[in-house]
Amino acid sequence: MATHPAHPAARSLRTTPEGLTWEPSERWVRGRTGDVTVVDSRHPVLVWEPGLPVPQYAFPRADVRTDLLRPAADPPAGTHTGSRVFYDLAADGEVRANAAWTFPAEDLAGHIAFEWFRRADTGLDHWYEEEEEIFVHPRDPHKRVDALSSSRHVRVEIEGRLVADTHTPVLLFETSLPTRYYLPREDVRLDLFQATDHSTGCPYKGTASYWSWRGEGDVPPDVLWSYPDPLPAVAAIRGRLAFFDEVVDITLDGERLERPETPFSGMLRKGTRHR
């Protein structure tokens, strides 16, 4: 009997001449706009484009409501690694421009990819892996996120002023990012910060709310955040507060840590809000 390409025996990362990396997935994935299910697939593939740190899904045509797709009226140029075929999506009483496309790679012929929600109003409204709703982008199977309770001593300073001091942090370890220190509220000088209307979503942690520094100095906005209702896998960070290591001074067990350089560093230096 032939092995289905999504079977574990056939799973491996593969690279196309166009620079795409892709991998079969065993997850049951569904995408919906309004009350209409547009994608229902038990054989998706994850695709990584050059220069993009997060994956996206592509689906066999047979698993897509292609009757809801029409050739794009105004296809974008220079996006999605040379893709030339884009589709507008007509569903639930509205048209979403350039909601779907095909990759030029021979390996991915017969597959259609979709923008995820919150991307320039073109994506679908809801995505699910099995019965769990997924936000922002698909989870990367090669990335790990662990939230561990600790007794390490964490001190945080901003512009030389002590703003947090605790011996009961939760350390969050996330592949390719610096350790984040989630601190009890009672150990943070929250009176020195102002709540903002900014929020971000993370497929691993949930939706975060933010605070900005009230004091003087060259401190970017939204330097402090919290997940009031995190996803179950990181429930230990619920309601705790964390700082951007990139722009504050953290002392861990008496050792001053160097400020890390991350994908957020440039935005923080410019004072722009991260997504």
Residue ranges with strand state E in 92-234 = 94-102, 111-114, 126-129, 132-134, 145-149, 154-158, 161-166, 170-174, 180-182, 193-202, 206-213, 224-226
Query: Tell me, what's the pLDDT at 275?
Result: 45
Per-residue model confidence as pLDDT tens digits over 30-74: 999 989 999 999 999 999 998 777 899 999 999 999 999 999 999
- Read off the DSSP letter of residue 247: T
This model's pTM is above 0.75? yes
pLDDT the model gives residue 76: 86
When mean pLDDT is compared across 4-8, 154-158, 177-181, the lowest value belongs to 4-8
Q: What fold does the segment set 145-270 form as a domain? A: 2.170.150
For residue 121, the model assigns a pLDDT of 60
Residue-wise pLDDT tens digits, 75-131: 888 778 877 799 999 998 889 999 999 998 899 999 999 987 555 566 888 999 999
- For the sheet with 193-202, list strands across it: 193-202, 206-213, 224-226, 241-243
Instruction: Give the pLDDT band (50/70/90) at residue 9.
Output: very low
How high is the pLDDT of residue 274?
Answer: 53
CA distance 2 to 167: 56
pLDDT tens for 220-263 read 999 999 999 999 999 999 999 999 999 999 999 999 999 998 87
Encoding tokens for residue 191? 């009176």
More confident residue, 145 or 2: 145
- 8-134 has which CATH code? 2.170.150.40
Query: 8-134 and 145-270: same fold?
Result: yes
Range in 10-24, 137-151, 197-211 with the lowest mean pLDDT = 10-24
pLDDT at residue 200 tops 60: yes
- Domain range summary for the chain, segments of one domain joined by +: 8-134, 145-270
